[in-house]
Each structure stands twice: as structure tokens, then as C-alpha cells.
Structure 1
Amino acid sequence: MIRHIAIALLLSLTLTACGFQLRGSTPLPASLNPLLIQGIDIESPIGAELAQLLGESGVTLTRQTSAAAAILRLHNHRVDRRVLSVDSNGKVAEYELHEMLRFELVSKANAQLIPAQSVGVVRAYVNTEEQVLGKQQEEEMLRQDMQRDLADQLLRRLQTQLK
């Protein structure tokens, strides 16, 4: 019994020593509060996802430039779909979905805290003519998943670069 406790303690010490943390458990600096998000509607799917993740990381959001301690500027949010492959009849066999977003973080005084950079997500799915409705639903689910991943990538970049 004591041996099991010692092993568990040793494993937990090893994990904390290597810097392991659960995703989303790293708070962002308090100096970002309150944060203004510019360039995207906060009620859009990607905006709502980002707002939720920022809130979980201890960031309060504002809609007023004068009240903001920092400004997260989002640019060039692009959503694309392209043909990945065609079958022997020349019909689309696979699609590839892309979602990209450029961002930068500046202080209230417009000093650059994080330079402009991009995050992006790519997914592919098989297209079959027999399941048109099912494929539309699959694409919508993939897009929702991509938006979550994109917001998560952006948050991890903020956490990493503001340490």
C-alpha cells in the first residue's frame, strides 16, 4: 500500500516538474483585464467560442475601447472549401475544409504585446452522392469542431507568448 502511494506521489511530482498542465488550466495575465476583441463579432460562432475560452482563463471582456487594458485584434478570418480528390467519373470524392485567422495583441497605448500571426485548422471528409444530407451535417459538425480548435489554438498562443 505504501509502495503504491509512493509511486503515485513520484508520478505526480514528475508530471508537475516537466511543466504538464491540463488544457485551459493556465490563466492569462491579469494585466489583460478587461480585454477588447476587435475585428470579429463576439456573437459569431468563432467569437462566442473564443469569449468562452478567454472567460475560463480568467479574462473579462469589454465592448468599450476606453475601458480596455488590451486589445485582441482579429484579421482575415477565412473559411474555405476545396476539392481534394475526384473519382473516375470526375465527381468530387473528397473535400478539404480550411479555416484561418490572423491576430495580434496590443496594449491600450497601442504597444504591440504579441505580433501579428496566424492560426489555422484543416479537415478533410469523403463526399458520397448517396448521403447528401448526411454529408451536409458532417460538414457543419466539422466546421463547429474547427472553430473550437481555432479558438483553442489562439488561446494557447496567448498563454505561451505572455508567460
Structure 2
Amino acid sequence: MQLLRNTILIIATCLTVAGCGFHLRGSQTLPPDINAVTSTSVVAHSLLKRELDERLNVYEIPRKPFDTVTRSDMSDTVIIRLLPETIERRLLSVFSTGQVAEYELIYGVNYTVTFPGHDPINAYFEIMRDYQDDPDKVLAKSRELDLVVSEMRKEAADRIIRRLALQASEL
């Protein structure tokens, strides 16, 4: 009896999740008429571009290097153009001595997506993180800041890919 109830519960849960349109986060797909994605950046050696290319490979989305895209490839290739990213720090709190205790890091990403046969779509988003500063541990906090910014960059690349899949499905 217990086994039957658990089986029915599992089947009902699966049907509910499948029926509501839920997709696993790692399952980004593009329409069949899109052969590849290419990315370029106005900033030479952009770390965000490198991260985006890496994430495209993780999601197994076919990509082409921008310098190899020919005019005939434009009919089935999506172009992502990354504009300069911004990192701002906003003061959140201070110690009683007046030294900064906590910042809010704001990572801004500005990019343009061009689908074949459509006008470019401009997009901007921000990712925010709190960062605690300790003036007594400057080297450790510097490395921690680099790690936080790197994680924000990875999240930005994932968000660009999710938005790309969403925009492609709406065309």
C-alpha cells in the first residue's frame, strides 16, 4: 500500500513539473534554424567573453570564432557583442573607527544580440553581491574580491545564455 502511494505521488509530481513548462537550468537550447553562436567584445581580451565562450561549450551550444564568420554564415549565426562591463562599489557600512566594513559590488553587463534577419537587441543587467572588507587582511580580501568578481562574471555569462534562449524562442 505504501509503495503504491509513493508511486502515485512521484508520478503526480513528475506530471505537474512537466506540465508547468519547467526546464532544468542547464538545458539551454536554440531554435533549429540557428547553426551557431559567435561572440565578440569591444574590449580586447575580455574576461567576460572568455567566460561566455566557456559556458557556451559547457551547454554544448555550437559556436564559431567571430573572425571566421563569413557573410554566408550570417543567415544562421547569432552574434553576441559584449560592450564594456562595469564594476561599482557602494558603501554599506563602516566600523566605529570610520573604516569601510562592507561594500555592495554591482557588476553591470551591457551587450547586443543579433539574430539572423532581425534587428539587434540591446540588453543590460546588473548582478549584486555584498562584500565585507577587513583592513587588517588586505591580501586575503583582495583575493576574495577577485573570486567574487569571477563568480559574478560566470553568473553573467549564464544569464546571457538563458536570455539568448528565451529571446530565440520569442522570435
**TM-score greater than 0.5 by the shorter chain:** yes
- Partner of residue 30, structure 1: 32
Distance of 2:145 and 2:110 partners within structure 1:
23
TM-score calculated relative to the size of structure 1:
0.84
Aligned ranges 1:1-163 → 2 under 5 Å = 1-39=3-41, 44-55=46-57, 56-63=59-66, 64-66=68-70, 67-68=73-74, 69-108=77-116, 111-112=118-119, 115-163=121-169
Residues 45-64 of structure 1: CA deviation (Å, up to 9, x unaligned): 32222112223152323332
Q: Contact between 1:25 and 1:57, CA under 8 Å: does it hold in 2?
A: no
* Aligned counterparts of 1:42 and 1:51: Cα–Cα separation in 2: 14
Count residues with an aligned counterpart: 161
> Which structure 1 segments of 5+ residues have no match?
none
The structure where strand makes up a greater share of residues is 1
CA distance in 2, matches of 1:137, 1:99: 17
Deviates more, 1:63-72 or 1:18-27: 63-72
Moved over 6 A (4+): none
1:142: how far off?
0.6
How far does the alpha carbon of each residue in 1:34-84 deviate from its partner, in whole angstroms, 9 at most, with x for none? 222122569643222211222315232333231442211111311233433
Once the two structures are overlaid, the 10-residue window that deviates more, 120-129 or 58-67, is 58-67
Render the CA deviation track for 1:99-158: whole Å, top value 9, x for unaligned: 11112211456x325x20102211111111222222112111111110111111111111
Q: In the alignment, residue 8 of structure 1 is paired with which amino acid?
A: I
Task: Give TM-score scaled by structure 2 length.
Answer: 0.81
8 Å contact kept, 1:74–1:104: yes
CA separation of 1:30 and 1:51: change in aligned 2, threshold 3 A: farther
Q: Secondary structure at the match of 2:85?
A: strand
